[in-house]
Amino acid sequence: MLKKIIIATRESPLAMWQAEFIKKLIIEMHPSTEIIIEGFKTQGDILLNESLAKIGGKGLFIKELEHALLERKADLAVHSMKDLPMDIPEEFKLIAISKREDARDAFISNEYDSLKDMPKGAIVGTSSLRRQSQIKSKYPHLVIEPLRGNLQTRLKKLDEGQYGGIILAAAGLIRLNLKKRIRQFISPSESIPAVGQGALGIEILSDNKILTDLLRPLNDEDTARCVLAERTVSRSLAGSCTVPLGAFASINNDTFSIKGFVAKPDGSEIIYAEKNGSKSDFYKLGEALSETLIAKGAKEILSN
C-alpha cells in the first residue's frame, strides 16, 4: 500500500475540483494514504489569444502533467476526457474513467432563454469548431465569436456584455455549483457533445503496477464503454479540436447507442450517423459508426 500519492492537475478552479473529486474517491478506498494535489499551468492555459485549432490542439492541456509523471513529480494525472488526445504515448496509460457527469452542452445567457430565441446578428461565444459548425448549421443568422479562458473567465466575458450567449459543457457548471446559470440544456440531437465530454480520466505511467491495481476500481465500466467507443470514432477520423466532429454514446440497460457527426466549420455541410447494438460490442459499434461516416463522405469534408 502506498503511503503517499501525488495528483497532477491544471490550476483552473474546475480542474482543481476534478482532482479533489478523484482524491476523495481514493481516500474512500484507502483512508490511510496521504493524497497531495499539485497544480501545473499548461500551455493551453497560457496561450489564450488564439483558437486551439491554430496553436496545437487539446494536447496543450496535458503535456506539463505528463512531464510531471515522467519526472516522478506526480504519480497520476487527472484529465477531462475531452481534453485527452486520441493517441496516448506508450509511456503512459489511461487506467480509469470515472462515472460521467451530464455530457450535454449548455447555453448560458443573461438575455435569452435558448439559442432559438436569439435574434439575427446576436453573438454566441465559443471556440469549439464542433459547437460552431452545429450552431451555424441550425442557426445561420447568429454570429459566432471566439471565447477562450477558464470557465469563470468565460462567464465574466458574458456578464460584461461581450456576448449575447455562450456555450459551455454542462458538466463543468454543475461541478462548480453554477447549474443555475444554465438557461438551456442542449439536447445531443441538436448539439452532439465532444468525445469524452463530462467524463474524467486518470493517467499514470505504463509501468506503475501498484497504481494500476490501486486505481482500477475507480473505472466506471459503462462510462468507459461509451467514452472508448467515442474515442474510436475520433481516432478513425483523425479527430482533434482542429476538426469539427463529435460523438456521443449512451447505454440503456444492455442497449448501446452511439451517434456522431462531421462537418465543415461553417456548417454548410454536415454528416450524421448513428449505430445501436449490445453494449458488449461497444468497440465494434464505434468502428461501424466511423465507417458509415466515411462512406457518407467524412474524409472528403475533413480534407478540405
Residues 91 and 208 in one domain: yes
| Cell digits of residue 49 | 489569444
Q: pTM score, two decimals? A: 0.90
Residues 13 and 80 in one domain: yes
Active site residue 102: no
Could you tell me the sign of the dihedral formed by the alpha carbons of 91, 201, 39, 58, in that order? positive
For residue 43, the model assigns a pLDDT of 59
Residues 67 and 214 in one domain: yes
Active-site choice (83, 113, 159, 222) = 83
User: Is residue 193 included in any domain, yes or no?
Assistant: no
As averages over each run of 10 residues, the pLDDT of the chain (304 residues) reads: 91 93 96 94 55 50 86 94 90 96 97 97 93 94 91 95 97 97 95 96 96 95 98 81 85 96 90 97 97 92 78
Residues 64 and 109 in one domain: no
Residues 113 and 255 in one domain: no
User: Is residue 150 included in any domain, yes or no?
Assistant: yes
Nearest to residue 77, comparing CAs of 125, 10, 171, 13? 10
114: phi then psi, degrees, rounded to nearest 5: -165, 170
Residues 90 and 211 in one domain: yes
Residues 87 and 20 in one domain: yes
For residue 96, the model assigns a pLDDT of 97
Number of domains in the chain: 3
User: Is residue 191 included in any domain, yes or no?
Assistant: no
Residues 251 and 109 in one domain: no
User: Is residue 111 included in any domain, yes or no?
Assistant: yes
DSSP helix/strand/coil, 210 = helix
Domain boundary residue among 131, 164, 186?
186
Determine the structural domain holding residue 49 and report its residue range: 4-98+199-219
For residue 56, the model assigns a pLDDT of 47
Q: CB–CB of 166/144 below 8 Å?
A: no
Give the strands of the sheet with 200-205, arranged side by side. 34-40, 4-10, 76-80, 200-205, 92-97
Beta strand extents in 105-237 (DSSP E only): 105-108, 123-125, 143-145, 165-169, 182-186, 200-205
Q: CB–CB of 224/244 below 8 Å?
A: no
Residues 62 and 210 in one domain: yes
User: Is residue 226 included in any domain, yes or no?
Assistant: no
| Cell digits of residue 260 | 456522431
For residue 276, the model assigns a pLDDT of 98
Residues 156 and 276 in one domain: no
For residue 148, the model assigns a pLDDT of 80
Nearest to residue 179, comparing CAs of 188, 187, 168, 189? 168
Residues 79 and 134 in one domain: no
| Cell digits of residue 215 | 486505481
Residues 90 and 209 in one domain: yes
CATH code: domain of residue 204: 3.40.190.10
Q: CB–CB of 261/301 below 8 Å?
A: no
